[in-house]
Amino acid sequence: MPAAATAPALTIRVQEADFDVGAELAALSAGNTGIGGIASFVGLVRDVAPHGRGQSSMTLEHYPGMTEKQLTAIAEEAMRRWPLETCLVIHRYGRLLPGDRIVLVGTASAHRAAALESCAFLIDWLKTRAPFWKIEDDGNAQRWVEARDSDDAAAARWAKAPGSTESR
């Protein structure tokens, strides 16, 4: 008798603590030999903000509960669009320094295209739809980070055409 299909696993964490990228990615495929590809993205704090000024730290704020709910909705959308075995989103908050990890996205699928495309989708949508507020500190002044048109354009490429069932 064939084994019953299991629902894709979804892990969402919003945390102040750092994470171990290798351990997190290893856990994505642990015990699942149907996975043929894992795609991942790790976002880091830069020492230069997008506007070109130096940056000594970045502080990320969020509303607990609301943030996890929205991250889950974004990840569930990826799982509807692609045949994923598992999906992972870890996003940090608090004061972070240049070089610190901010976000880890991992997707696993039987085939690489689904893993790669869904990972790109998640990053684009997290950048524009995840409820985090960022403050850049250049050592002299603090500034709220404004939304960027280039991030909106990247996320827009994943919009579905009305009535379409295609992923893009």
Q: With pLDDT > 90 as the criterion, what percentage of the chain qualifies?
A: 66
Residues 156 and 150 sit within 8 Å (Cβ to Cβ): no
pLDDT tens digit sequence for 16-64: 999 999 999 999 999 999 999 999 999 999 887 666 667 788 999 999 9
Q: Which CATH number is 9-139 given?
A: 3.90.1170.40
pTM: 0.87
Burial class (CB in 10 A: 0-12, 13-18, 19+), 150: exposed
